[in-house]
Amino acid sequence: MAQFAIREFDGGVSFTAKVVPGSSRTSVCGLLDGMVKIKVSAAPEKGKANECLVGFLAKQLGVRKKAVSIVSGLNNPVKEVVVSGIGVGALTEKLGLSEVDISQ
């Protein structure tokens, strides 16, 4: 069973995502080395992949776009993501990761 590092803080969660731009569709692909692997349909240019990631996560998690922030890795495929207004359980369930072993 994969280890998924997720940290909960007052009012939200943070996690690491491995983003693969230029895919045919945007989707969560599971876990890769403790990170959530997410394929995005946007190209990795001028912040389009980051915008696509934020929009996708906001829709999947049922939060506003401004509640999703990329706090590090803007120019890197490995990103630290913070989501306000959601807990660990809701995050893992809505991303389809509810059967993974979570380390906090």
**In this structure, what CATH number is given to the domain that contains residue 86?**
3.30.1200.10
Question: What local confidence, expressed as pLDDT, does residue 98 receive?
Answer: 63
Does residue 100 have a pLDDT over 90?
no
Rounded to two decimals, the pTM is 0.89
Q: What is the span of the domain harbouring residue 49? A: 3-103
- Number of domains the chain contains: 1
Instruction: Tell me if 88 sits within 8 A of 9, measured CB to CB.
Output: no
| Residue range 48-58, pLDDT digits in tens | 999 999 999 99
The pair phi, psi for residue 57, each rounded to 5°, is -65, -40
Q: Are 43 and 49 a contacting pair, CB within 8 Å? A: yes
Strands (E), the chain: 3-9, 12-20, 27-32, 35-39, 68-72, 78-84, 101-103
pLDDT tens-digit readout, 51-91: 999 999 999 999 999 999 999 999 999 999 999 999 999 99
